[in-house]
């Protein structure tokens, strides 16, 4: 099951759909809730009947959501890699600063 931050349906897709078809009936959070209901064991037919949507709409939402999970996973990996690089740079910078401080302390002691 995808985590909550990666379970929203593509807003870009729906923005384009809105322009063509008009106002959306459900927002991203509602769509995610509907899809989670099905994941919890409710049949597709029951979910569609309850919310007044067609099965093709349900499956399109499901497809868009699973596509977004892949995009979010790629972004997460890229962010983790960037985080590791930044941590290394910070550690090197701190080591440099500590080394310079030690050298400055030694040279200033020698002058007094």
> pLDDT, tens digit, for every residue of 58-111?
999 988 887 777 667 788 899 999 999 999 999 999 999 999 999 999 888 866
18 lies in some domain: no
Within 10 A of 61 (CB to CB), how many other CB atoms are there?
22
The yes-or-no verdict on residue 8 having pLDDT over 60 is no
Q: Please state the pTM of the whole predicted model.
A: 0.45
pLDDT score at 2: 46
56 lies in some domain: yes
The structural domain count of the chain equals 1
16 lies in some domain: no
pLDDT digits (tens, 9 = 90+) for 16-68: 555 555 567 888 889 989 999 999 999 999 999 999 999 999 999 988 887 77
SS3 68: helix
Please give the backbone phi and psi of residue 25, each rounded to the nearest 5 degrees, phi first: -85, -30
Distance (Å, whole) CA 32 – CA 45: 17
75 lies in some domain: yes
53 lies in some domain: yes
Please give the backbone phi and psi of residue 49, each rounded to the nearest 5 degrees, phi first: -65, -45
The yes-or-no verdict on residue 14 having pLDDT over 80 is no
pLDDT score at 4: 47
pLDDT score at 24: 75
3 lies in some domain: no
Question: Where in the sequence is the domain holding 64, given as residue range(s)?
Answer: 24-110
80 lies in some domain: yes
4 lies in some domain: no
């Amino acid at each position: 099951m995808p985590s909550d931050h990666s379970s929203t349906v593509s807003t870009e897709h729906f923005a384009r759909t809105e322009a063509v078809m008009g106002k959306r009936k459900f927002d991203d959070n509602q769509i995610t809730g509907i899809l989670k209901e099905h994941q919890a064991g409710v049949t597709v037919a029951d979910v569609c009947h309850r919310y007044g949507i067609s099965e093709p709409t349900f499956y399109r939402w499901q497809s868009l959501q699973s596509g977004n999970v892949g995009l979010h996973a790629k972004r997460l990996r890229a962010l983790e890699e960037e985080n590791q690089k930044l941590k290394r740079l910070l550690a090197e910078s701190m080591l440099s600063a500590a080394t310079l401080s030690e050298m400055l302390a030694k040279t200033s002691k020698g002058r007094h």
